[in-house]
Amino acid sequence: MKINKLELKNYRNIEYMELLPCDGVNIIYGENAQGKTNILESIFLFTGLKSFRSSKDSEFVSFGKEFSKINVDFSTALRDQTAEIKISDRRRAVLNGVTLASPTALMSKFPASLFSPGFMTLIQNGPTERRKFIDSAICQIKPKYALLLSEYNKLLKQRNAVLKDSENYKDTKLFLDCINEAFSNLGEEIYKERKIYLDGILPFVTEIYEGLSSGKEEISFSYIRKGDKTGKYLFSEIIKSHETADISAKMTLTGPHRDDIDININGVSARSFGSQGQKRSAAIALKLAEAEVIKNFIGEQPVILLDDVMSELDAKRQDYILNHIKDRQVFITCCEPGSILRMSEGKTFNIKDGRLL
Ligand SMILES: Nc1ncnc2c1ncn2[C@@H]1O[C@H](COP(=O)(O)OP(=O)(O)O)[C@@H](O)[C@H]1O
Ligand SMILES: [Mg+2]
């Protein structure tokens, strides 16, 4: 997939911008706080996923303005397409002239893979970030997965509400029995999708990480199911065996909302023992691998968005990344484009105060 034109109106600190990228590497450079990340964020919104920076749509609208509008012309293997996102209090999306019921309907129509420094939390923080990573990744290739998640979360909310408020053991049991089957089925389905995804992404992550570390290190990961370290049991069995514990804890202690992914480098936990460079490389490998999986799954090369990624890597790693992504459209932001420019052909955009110079 290629973006041919991006047009922004009242988007954060950008009053108006028209960007005509090339098919290869596009470098967006400038000092801090000029609007580089804002450009990548605006592109990312067309994936139909939530922004990596704000959860409130209204934050995208320039201070003091009523709405913002982003338009993109892009080509996929089949045809040229257009999409528009209009934001006021919330987002509305139009694809090829047709207004979509919800911006989430864009999922898998406009594939993109983004790395931002905040993504390091994937390795550093608790399991929430890792679940978010895998869930968004699957949503991009299987939009139905988003539905599955939201149905599971709805039931989870009800289940937790009953566990929290009920003083009456019998009533609680009765309610749990009532929703157990549906809840277990949804949870099991999510688990299966996540496993399929991890199995699919593993060979790419391994290869990319090996390349980034010049063959010196090895990455591996495994899915950790809360309440079942063996991975042998069905969710219906896990949830049943934790029922008494759930009732006394007044919340649901097991399920996909509590699972985790263990990421190891050379056999030890990257989170506990990894150096900054190793964590960064692991996060990058996961993101670049995500792009490979998207490509294999939907047959379309995703646009790659790399926010502030190059500056902290040595020349060898930068070189590996640029080589790895050379046949795709990439947007890279940085303060100093020198080293990237030397290594790649492509187009540069200098941005200052939300304007292209
Ligand atoms: N809704 C908004 N309206 C106007 N300016 C905004 C809005 N949201 C963020 N900004 C401004 O955008 C700038 C940051 O842009 P960003 O793309 O993160 O910079 P960088 O070039 O460092 O990546 C900041 O100056 C911030 O105040
Ligand atoms: Mg930035």
Instruction: Note down pLDDT in tens along the chain; length 357 residues.
Output: 999 999 999 999 999 999 999 999 999 999 999 999 999 999 999 999 988 888 799 999 999 999 999 999 999 988 999 999 999 988 999 999 999 999 999 988 999 999 998 888 889 999 999 999 999 999 989 989 999 999 999 999 999 999 998 777 788 888 999 999 999 999 999 999 999 999 999 999 999 999 999 999 999 999 999 999 887 899 999 999 999 999 999 999 999 999 999 999 999 999 999 988 889 899 999 999 999 999 999 899 999 999 998 877 888 888 888 888 878 999 999 998 777 777 677 899 999 999 999
Is the shortest distance between the CB of 59 and ligand 1 below 6 Å? yes
Please give the C-alpha separations between residue 8 and each of 18, 84, 85, 99, 249, in angstroms, as whole numbers.
7, 10, 10, 19, 49
Is the shortest distance between the CB of 287 and ligand 1 below 6 Å? no
pLDDT of residue 315: 84
Which amino acid would we find at residue 129? E
Is residue 65 a contact partner of residue 12, using CB atoms and an 8 Å limit? no
pLDDT of residue 158: 95
Is the shortest distance between the CB of 62 and ligand 1 below 6 Å? yes
Dmax of the chain from CA atoms? Answer: 71
pLDDT of residue 309: 87
Q: Tell me where in the chain the CATH 3.40.50.300 domain(s) lie.
A: 1-111+305-357
- Going from the Cα of 105 to the center of ligand 1, the distance in angstroms, rounded, reads 27
Is the shortest distance between the CB of 42 and ligand 1 below 6 Å? no
Is the shortest distance between the CB of 56 and ligand 1 below 6 Å? no
- Going from the Cα of 350 to the center of ligand 2, the distance in angstroms, rounded, reads 13
**Which ligand 1 atom minimizes the distance to the CA of 41?**
17
> Which residue in this structure is represented by tokens 């804002």?
38
- Smallest CA-to-CA distance from 354 within 118, 68, 91, 62 is with 62
3-class state of residue 259 by DSSP = coil
Q: Tell me where in the chain the CATH 1.20.1050.90 domain(s) lie.
A: 115-299
- Going from the Cα of 70 to the center of ligand 2, the distance in angstroms, rounded, reads 19
- Going from the Cα of 35 to the center of ligand 1, the distance in angstroms, rounded, reads 5
Is residue 194 a contact partner of residue 138, using CB atoms and an 8 Å limit? yes
Q: What's the CATH fold of domain 1-111+305-357?
A: Rossmann fold (3.40.50)
Pair of tokens at residue 50: 């939530």
Ligand that lies nearest to the alpha carbon of residue 15, given by its number in the listed order:
1
pLDDT of residue 343: 67
Is the shortest distance between the CB of 13 and ligand 1 below 6 Å? yes
Burial of 354 (0-12, 13-18, 19+ CB in 10 A): buried
Ligand that lies nearest to the alpha carbon of residue 28, given by its number in the listed order:
1
- Going from the Cα of 41 to the center of ligand 2, the distance in angstroms, rounded, reads 10
Q: What's the CATH fold of domain 115-299?
A: Glutathione S-transferase Yfyf (Class Pi); Chain A, domain 2 (1.20.1050)
Is the shortest distance between the CB of 63 and ligand 1 below 6 Å? yes
- Going from the Cα of 37 to the center of ligand 1, the distance in angstroms, rounded, reads 8
3-class state of residue 273 by DSSP = helix
Q: State which of 10, 17, 27, 34 you would mutate to test the pocket of ligand 1, scoring each by most atoms of that ligand within 8 A of its C-beta.
A: 34
**Which ligand 1 atom minimizes the distance to the CA of 39?**
17
Residue nearest to atom 19 of ligand 1 (CA): 33
Ligand that lies nearest to the alpha carbon of residue 57, given by its number in the listed order:
1
How far apart CA 154 and CA 246 sit, in angstroms, is: 17
Is the shortest distance between the CB of 91 and ligand 1 below 6 Å? no
- Going from the Cα of 30 to the center of ligand 1, the distance in angstroms, rounded, reads 13
- Going from the Cα of 307 to the center of ligand 2, the distance in angstroms, rounded, reads 7
Is the shortest distance between the CB of 37 and ligand 1 below 6 Å? yes
Pair of tokens at residue 47: 């994936």
